[in-house]
Chain A
Amino acid sequence: GENVEQHPSTLSVQEGDSAVIKCTYSDSASNYFPWYKQELGKGPQLIIDIRSNVGEKKDQRIAVTLNKTAKHFSLHITETQPEDSAVYFCAASRGGNFGNEKLTFGTGTRLTIIP
């Protein structure tokens, strides 16, 4: 089955600086890669996702890049703010077809923004 590794497990960044979280996956058939943000006491919330037919996607201060050849993808947060402090999870799936919706998650990165 799929295996997703995520690094680093903890990350502290000065407010205003950029943060980068990296993930690798093992299943070459995976084609859908979402990122989730989990705040304390809440369920994970989808913040951005990318499919294998594109290499990069941006949404305001958040971007995700994908390298299918190397089987890794990354989350980039620019101009970090205190409200970015949370646990972030990457995930991968074969997605898009009936029965292929199963997501395999990384182990999470606790991001702390230092004021």
Chain B
Amino acid sequence: NAGVTQTPKFQVLKTGQSMTLQCAQDMNHEYMSWYRQDPGMGLRLIHYSVGAGITDQGEVPNGYNVSRSTTEDFPLRLLSAAPSQTSVYFCASSRQGAGGYTFGSGTRLTVV
């Protein structure tokens, strides 16, 4: 039981490049979400999904896309990277109604 697995752990992108941050969970959790963590700003919700085929925007969705084709996977796509997207990205999952999230170990992204 691996929990929530995020890849890669570190990534450096040039402005304008695109990439996909991977997130997979093996707990059969219905709910998955992506947060970004910036100094002094806590964790801000980018996108979330309540089940396969269902996604919705969070607080800071601009510049990011998501899809949820399976229960296990919830990739986050950066369409055209900008320096403002330099951050640490966390994926989290939970059972419907359970409340407590299980977080991945994060992806540290730097856009130059």
Residues of chain A touching chain B, judged by Cβ–Cβ distance below 8 Å, are: 1, 6, 9, 32, 34, 36, 41-46, 49, 51, 89, 93, 95-99, 101-108
Q: Which of B13-21, B75-83, B99-107 contacts A (4 or more CB under 8 A)?
A: B99-107
CB pair A42–B105 under 8 Å, yes or no, is yes
**Nearest A residue to B38 by beta-carbon distance?**
A107
Q: What separation, in Å, do the CA atoms of A105 and B103 have in the docked complex?
A: 14
CB pair A101–B31 under 8 Å, yes or no, is yes
CB pair B97–A97 under 8 Å, yes or no, is yes
Q: Which of B83-112 contact A (CB under 8 A)?
A: 90, 92, 94, 96-97, 99-106
Smallest Cβ distance from B28 to chain A, in angstroms? 15
Tell me if B58 is interfacial: C-beta within 8 Å of chain A: yes
Choose from B96, B97, B100 the contact partner of A46 (Cβ within 8 Å): B100
CB pair A96–B50 under 8 Å, yes or no, is no
**Nearest B residue to A101 by beta-carbon distance?**
B31
Number of A-B contacts (CB under 8 A): 67
Which A residues touch B104, using CB under 8 A? 43
CB pair B90–A98 under 8 Å, yes or no, is no
CB pair B103–A43 under 8 Å, yes or no, is yes
CB pair B99–A98 under 8 Å, yes or no, is no
CB pair B42–A99 under 8 Å, yes or no, is no
Count residues of chain B with CB under 8 A from any CB of chain A.
27
Which A residues touch B50, using CB under 8 A? 98-99, 101
**Nearest B residue to A43 by beta-carbon distance?**
B103
Identify which of A41, A45, A101 gathers the most chain B CB atoms within 10 Å of its CB. A101
Q: What separation, in Å, do the CA atoms of A107 and B38 have in the docked complex?
A: 9
CB pair A102–B33 under 8 Å, yes or no, is yes
CB pair A105–B97 under 8 Å, yes or no, is no
Smallest Cβ distance from A108 to chain B, in angstroms? 5
Q: Which of B29-80 contact A (CB under 8 A)?
A: 31, 33, 35, 40-45, 48, 50, 58-59
Choose from B4, B31, B40, B43 the contact partner of A89 (Cβ within 8 Å): B43
The list of the 5 closest CB pairs from A to B, nearest first, reads A43-B103, A107-B42, A105-B43, A46-B100, A105-B42
Q: What separation, in Å, do the CA atoms of A4 and B52 have in the docked complex?
A: 29
